[in-house]
Amino acid sequence: VLGLTYQATDNIWLAMVAGVLAAGAVGILSGTIIAKGGVTDFIVTLGALSAASGLALILSDGKPIQVLDRAMLKLASAGIGPFTWSVIVAAIVAVLAHIALFNSRFGLHVLATGGSEESARAVGVRTARVKIAVYTLSGLLAGVAAILLVARVGAAEPASNTSFLLNSVAAVVLGGVSL
């Protein structure tokens, strides 16, 4: 979406917003299917990855879309001191996530839902709403990560995520998640 929007409008800021919103929409859809449909989260996540990858390949005809913009170049190469913007953005997101998770009602609900969904529901936490919100946030942050990747590569590559799939599944399995 970022690449197609940039190609159509030549406005990098509009393209970045469109990319993040599209990723957020995938998160909302995934969260809704998981929370309301009762489908296993791992299956929905892999399905969303496959659907988004296929749609990206179809919309771009399988070709990367060059995104050459001064702002993206600065995002990829500049920073503050020895830290690039990618590291700074990751640190800011980590700090904000920590604060939100451990110092807010929403964070408490997330921890409760993740710890024991049934118990959280019994004490009044709207677990479906929490799941949808978490998947939406995850999608939005994936959109931010996509901006950083496009800035680094200089193109919106429709098949760039294929190399990460096996590593992601391996990390999940090695981490002890039951499939």
| pLDDT tens-place string over residues 102-152 | 999 999 999 999 888 899 999 999 999 999 999 999 999 999 999 998 998
pLDDT in tens, 41-71: 888 988 898 898 889 889 988 889 999 888 8
pTM to 2 decimals?
0.85
% of the chain with per-residue pLDDT over 70: 95
What is the pLDDT, as a whole number, of residue 179?
63
Candidates 176, 140, 163; CA nearest to 18 is: 140
CA distance 156 to 50: 17
pLDDT at 76: 87
Residue closest to 15 by CA, chosen among 79, 68, 51: 68
Has residue 87 got a pLDDT over 80? yes
Residue 162, pLDDT score = 64
Q: Which helix (H) or strand (E) holds 175?
A: none
